[in-house]
């Protein structure tokens, strides 16, 4: 494992190493640009750490295999990109319903469909939250540097362990291949299963220890037995699945706020947000609100600063996070909402923001 | 092991239709487990969606009832992270071979140490009796109102070709042989696969003049041919596809190999050496 110190790493490699530090010992995946280096690195590193690596026949089975592994008590992950992420939606819903702790790194590329395989985009923001059917919640993290990708991947495993929920790290083609300096700390707080007790989250009892665990994607009672035609059972289960994330939003959400007093606030995340720093550095009239946790929406933090503000949303898609930013912003008295949507593979530049200012 | 040590008593009564073959298959499983004295606490049952997918829920062991078609992939994750566990997949023909076809052929290719029981009732029972990839020619289902006009899959032969270590086909009309076969599968390392032809009087039999479970079972028995009586040569005008199309099932052990399972391929190469 990476010893404390400075390293010069590409995002995909940093995410893989971070997962190992977080205790991940099972990786199943399917090759897809631009996430393949992460998988290749895991193929090399997992045997060295006594973990399991397997290349599956598709993304459907990759996510199935990590859920199976997670149910034996292993920390498990997979990585993919848009087309594979679409295939995984089925079992993201299953993981949410069965409260399985798993981590998925989605390295975003241009879509829809096969789109732009090697080109950066932020088109999976809504899919990461709403992609599977029915009511459920995911925790979605959005780093904007290799260092943050490293740190947030470790946090993703901790959050998965604490909340028994799928956690998605939204990397992108730029972060994945960009090589940056990172600092590996002396010590990281690693949360094991059942280590932290949180309201609404039941303890995790894995398979294979004689507990006769029943797991099903059907609506089930506290024993895990299917009860599919009882209004009360379904209502209580699904409400709890949603509430365990939404009600814990203040502790989950993590944002960077610069110049909170400014009249204009830029809301941006991931690689796009890097265009905002040169602007706010010299201009105290412009602030930045950058969620590191996209979902659950950091409502408790956003409502503190949005009142009476002009909000500029910058992201690399046509219809994405802006929908939720505007909905929540208006609820808490945000004045004016403008969006800068840049697609096609051009990373936003400060000049894009200046045009609107 | 007492009967209700094997079953979850608090899940009774079960949801299967009168005359369903799954009861026979579950009791064959119980008998095999009892005879071999297998530790049920070291066993995980995994299933997909469908009538057969509900079987693990009634067994008093760890059970994972997964999404449609993906049981094998979930089981792969379990087996690789806990090699000490017996991982048994029990699911239907539609689940394992239509929506999940890709997963099962790859698991057989890897020769991963899973025990798979594929219950073939020739239709989609749970959803109301639609055509399955196993429905024989001219059979009536709700989606083949004019009779089946596709060639069906030969499940056991497909898995044999994909590289499994143990492949057998039995029917619910052969319970003693099925128990023996399950025991053989449990004792074989590597991918073990048993196709069990089963009756579905309510959703399949009823539409094909076999609504009485006894008629349906008799039909299955009459259409079963022991593998010892079968001879195929390369020039034969008939092969397995033609038999399968007519709903004729070859029963018995199709394949017994002892090729090293997944994760131990090095041994295989050391012993036999790569073929030049």
User: What CATH number should be reported for the domain holding residue A65?
Assistant: 3.40.50.970
Does A207 contact B85 at a Cβ distance shorter than 8 Å? yes
A174 and A309 share one domain: no
Nearest CA in chain B to A53: B80
A93 pLDDT more than 70: yes
CATH at A346:
3.40.50.920
- When divided into structural domains, chain A yields a total of 2
* Residue A241's pLDDT band (cuts 50, 70, 90): very high
Q: Is A234 a member of any domain?
A: no
A43 and A157 share one domain: yes
Q: Helix H segments across chain A?
A: 11-21, 36-48, 59-70, 82-98, 127-130, 146-163, 173-177, 231-246, 249-252, 277-282, 299-305, 322-331, 350-356
A107 pLDDT more than 70: yes
- Among A184, A218, A240, residue at a domain's last position: A184
The verdict on A69 touching B (C-beta cutoff 8 Å) is yes
Query: Are A107 and A88 spatial neighbours (Cβ–Cβ below 8 Å)?
Result: no
pLDDT average, residue stretch B4-26: 94
B273 pLDDT more than 80: no
A148 and A290 share one domain: no
Name the 3-class secondary structure at A338.
strand
* Residue B230's pLDDT band (cuts 50, 70, 90): confident
* Residue B236's pLDDT band (cuts 50, 70, 90): confident
Alpha-carbon distance B67 to nearest alpha carbon in chain A (angstroms): 7
From chain B, the residues in CB contact with A214 under 8 A are 8, 57, 62-63, 65
Q: Is A22 a member of any domain?
A: yes
Q: Is A294 a member of any domain?
A: yes
Average the pLDDT over each of A72-86, A166-180, B131-145, B258-272 and give the range with the smallest value.
Answer: B258-272
- Cα separation, B239 vs A64, in Å, equals 36
Burial code (b: 16+ CB inside 10 Å, e: under 16) for A114-126 equals eebeebbbbbbbb
A264 and A172 share one domain: no
Helix axes B155-162, B101-110, angle to 10 degrees: 40
Alpha-carbon distance A126 to nearest alpha carbon in chain B (angstroms): 23
A171 and A283 share one domain: no
* Residue B270's pLDDT band (cuts 50, 70, 90): low
From chain A, the residues in CB contact with B73 under 8 A are 56, 60-62, 64-65, 68
A147 and A23 share one domain: yes
Which pLDDT score is estimated for A56? Answer: 98
Peptide bond into A112 cis (omega under 30): yes
A122 and A27 share one domain: yes
* Residue B51's pLDDT band (cuts 50, 70, 90): very high
From chain A, the residues in CB contact with B74 under 8 A are 64-65, 67-68
Does B62 contact A217 at a Cβ distance shorter than 8 Å? no
Does A56 contact B76 at a Cβ distance shorter than 8 Å? yes
Q: What is the token pair recorded at B131?
A: 């055509």
Q: Is A325 a member of any domain?
A: yes
From chain A, the residues in CB contact with B85 under 8 A are 72, 207-208
A168 pLDDT more than 80: yes
- Cα separation, B68 vs B103, in Å, equals 12
Which pLDDT score is estimated for B266? Answer: 79
Element (H, E) at B168: strand B166-171
Q: What is the token pair recorded at A108?
A: 């975003």
* Residue B272's pLDDT band (cuts 50, 70, 90): low
* Residue B274's pLDDT band (cuts 50, 70, 90): low
Does A76 contact B77 at a Cβ distance shorter than 8 Å? yes
pLDDT average, residue stretch A178-206: 97
B67 pLDDT more than 70: yes
- Among A184, A219, A234, residue at a domain's last position: A184
Quick one: A240 exposed, middle or buried, by C-beta within 10 A (0-12, 13-18, 19+)? Answer: middle
A45 and A134 share one domain: yes
pTM for this prediction: 0.97
Length of chain A: 357
Beta strands in A101-195 (DSSP E): 102-110, 116-120, 139-141, 166-172, 179-184
Which pLDDT score is estimated for B235? Answer: 77
Which of the residues A28, A61, A101 would you substitute to probe the B interface, choosing the one with the greatest number of B C-beta atoms within 10 Å? A61
Mean pLDDT across chain A: 97
Does B80 contact A67 at a Cβ distance shorter than 8 Å? no
Q: Is A164 a member of any domain?
A: yes
The beta-carbon neighbor of A212 closest among B60, B77, B84 is B60
Query: Are A105 and A15 spatial neighbours (Cβ–Cβ below 8 Å)?
Result: yes
The verdict on A258 touching B (C-beta cutoff 8 Å) is no
Greatest Cα pair distance, chain A, in angstroms, is 64
Its domain, for residue A295, covers 256-356
- Among A142, A161, A184, residue at a domain's last position: A184
Instruction: List the one residue out of A90, A172, A104 whose CA is nearest residue A136.
Output: A90
pLDDT average, residue stretch A167-179: 98
A269 pLDDT more than 90: yes
Mean pLDDT across chain B: 94
Which pLDDT score is estimated for B1? Answer: 84
Which pLDDT score is estimated for B240? Answer: 86
A144 and A293 share one domain: no
Does B106 contact A56 at a Cβ distance shorter than 8 Å? yes
B267 pLDDT more than 80: no
Q: Is A122 a member of any domain?
A: yes
The beta-carbon neighbor of A208 closest among B73, B85, B103 is B85
The beta-carbon neighbor of A207 closest among B64, B67, B72 is B64
Greatest Cα pair distance, chain B, in angstroms, is 59
Which pLDDT score is estimated for B271? Answer: 61
pLDDT average, residue stretch B178-183: 98
B231 pLDDT more than 80: no
Alpha-carbon distance B99 to nearest alpha carbon in chain A (angstroms): 11
Length of chain B: 276
Q: Is A61 a member of any domain?
A: yes
Does A72 contact B81 at a Cβ distance shorter than 8 Å? yes
- Cα separation, B61 vs A51, in Å, equals 26
Which pLDDT score is estimated for B275? Answer: 53
Q: What is the token pair recorded at A283?
A: 């201009």
Which of the residues B10, B81, B106 would you substitute to probe the A interface, choosing the one with the greatest number of A C-beta atoms within 10 Å? B81
Does A69 contact B77 at a Cβ distance shorter than 8 Å? yes
Which pLDDT score is estimated for A183? Answer: 98
Does A74 contact B72 at a Cβ distance shorter than 8 Å? no
Bridge partners of residue A72, in order along the sequence: none
* Residue A99's pLDDT band (cuts 50, 70, 90): very high
Which pLDDT score is estimated for B4? Answer: 85
* Residue B241's pLDDT band (cuts 50, 70, 90): confident
Element (H, E) at B214: helix B213-222
Burial code (b: 16+ CB inside 10 Å, e: under 16) for B108-123 equals bbbbbbbbbbbbbbbb
Domains located in chain B, CATH noted: 18-227+234-272 (3.40.50.970)
Q: Is A109 a member of any domain?
A: yes
Which of the residues B74, B96, B104, B112 would you substitute to probe the A interface, choosing the one with the greatest number of A C-beta atoms within 10 Å? B74
Query: Are A270 and A175 spatial neighbours (Cβ–Cβ below 8 Å)?
Result: yes
pLDDT average, residue stretch A278-303: 96
Instruction: List the one residue out of B38, B188, B195, B39 whose CA is nearest residue B113.
Output: B188
- Cα separation, B44 vs B84, in Å, equals 11
What percentage of residues in chain B have a pLDDT greater than 90? 86
Name the 3-class secondary structure at A241.
helix
From chain B, the residues in CB contact with A43 under 8 A are none
A275 and A143 share one domain: no
Q: What is the token pair recorded at A58?
A: 């598709």
Which pLDDT score is estimated for B63? Answer: 97
From chain B, the residues in CB contact with A205 under 8 A are none
| Residue listed under structure tokens 């920390």 | A75
A66 and A168 share one domain: yes
Does A61 contact B102 at a Cβ distance shorter than 8 Å? yes
A84 and A174 share one domain: yes
For the sheet with A336-341, list strands across it: A255-258, A286-291, A264-268, A310-315, A336-341
pLDDT average, residue stretch A80-93: 98
């Amino acid at each position: 494992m990476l010893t404390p110190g400075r390293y010069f790493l590409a995002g995909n490699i940093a995410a893989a190493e971070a997962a190992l530090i977080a205790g991940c010992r099972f990786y199943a995946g399917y090759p897809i640009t631009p996430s393949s280096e992460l998988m290749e690195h895991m193929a090399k590193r997992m045997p060295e750490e006594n973990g399991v690596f397997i290349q599956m026949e598709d993304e459907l089975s990759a996510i199935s295999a990590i859920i199976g592994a997670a149910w034996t008590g292993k920390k498990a992950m997979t990585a993919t990109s848009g087309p594979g992420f679409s295939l995984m939606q089925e079992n993201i819903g299953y993981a949410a319903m069965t409260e399985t702790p798993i981590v998925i790194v989605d390295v975003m590329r241009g879509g829809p469909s096969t789109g732009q395989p090697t080109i950066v985009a932020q088109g999976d923001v809504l899919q990461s939250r709403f992609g599977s059917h029915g009511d459920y919640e995911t925790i979605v993290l959005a780093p904007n540097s290799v260092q943050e990708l490293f740190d947030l991947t470790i946090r993703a495993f901790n959050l998965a362990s604490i909340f028994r929920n799928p956690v998605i790290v939204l990397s992108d083609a730029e972060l994945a291949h960009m090589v940056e300096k990172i600092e590996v700390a002396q010590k990281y707080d690693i949360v094991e299963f059942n280590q932290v007790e949180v309201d609404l989250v039941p303890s995790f009892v894995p398979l294979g220890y004689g507990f006769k665990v029943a797991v099903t994607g059907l609506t089930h009672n506290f024993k895990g037995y299917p009860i599919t035609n009882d209004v009360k059972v379904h209502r209580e289960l699904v409400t709890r699945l949603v509430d365990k994330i939404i009600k814990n939003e203040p502790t989950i959400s993590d944002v960077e706020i610069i110049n909170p007093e400014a009249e204009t606030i830029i809301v941006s995340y991931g690689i796009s947000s890097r265009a905002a720093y040169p602007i706010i550095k010299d201009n105290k009239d412009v602030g930045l609100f950058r969620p590191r946790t996209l979902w659950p929406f950091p409502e408790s933090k956003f409502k503190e600063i949005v009142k009476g503000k002009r909000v500029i949303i910058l992201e690399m898609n046509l219809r994405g996070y802006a929908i939720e930013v505007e909905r929540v912003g208006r609820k808490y008295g945000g004045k004016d909402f403008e969006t800068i949507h840049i697609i096609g593979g051009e990373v936003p530049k400060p000049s894009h923001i200046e045009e609107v200012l | 092991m007492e009967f209700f040590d094997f079953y979850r008593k608090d899940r009774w009564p079960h949801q299967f239709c009168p005359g369903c073959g799954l009861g026979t298959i579950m009791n064959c499983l119980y008998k095999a487990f009892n005879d071999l004295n297998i530790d049920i606490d070291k066993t995980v049952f995994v299933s997909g969606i469908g009538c057969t997918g509900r079987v693990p829920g009634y067994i008093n062991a760890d059970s994972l009832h997964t999404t449609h078609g993906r049981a094998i992939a979930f089981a792969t994750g379990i087996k690789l992270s806990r090699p000490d566990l017996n991982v048994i997949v029990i699911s239907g023909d539609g689940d394992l071979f239509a929506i999940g076809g890709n997963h099962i052929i790859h698991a057989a290719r890897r020769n991963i140490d899973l025990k798979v029981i594929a219950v073939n009732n020739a239709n989609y029972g749970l959803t109301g009796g639609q055509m399955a990839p196993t429905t024989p020619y001219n059979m009536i289902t709700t989606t083949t109102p004019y009779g089946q006009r596709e060639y069906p899959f030969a499940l056991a032969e497909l898995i044999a070709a994909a590289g499994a270590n143990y492949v057998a086909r039995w029917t619910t009309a052969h319970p003693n042989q099925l128990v023996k076969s399950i025991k053989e599968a449990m004792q074989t390392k590597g991918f073990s696969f048993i196709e069990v032809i089963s009756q579905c009087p309510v959703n399949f039999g009823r539409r094909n003049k076999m609504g009485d479970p006894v008629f349906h079972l008799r039909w299955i028995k009459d259409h079963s041919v022991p593998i010892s009586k079968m001879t195929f040569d390369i020039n034969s005008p008939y092969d397995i596809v033609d038999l399968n199309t007519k709903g004729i099932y070859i029963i018995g052990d199709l394949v017994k190999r002892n090729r090293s399972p997944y994760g131990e391929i090095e041994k295989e190469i050391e012993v036999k050496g790569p073929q030049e």
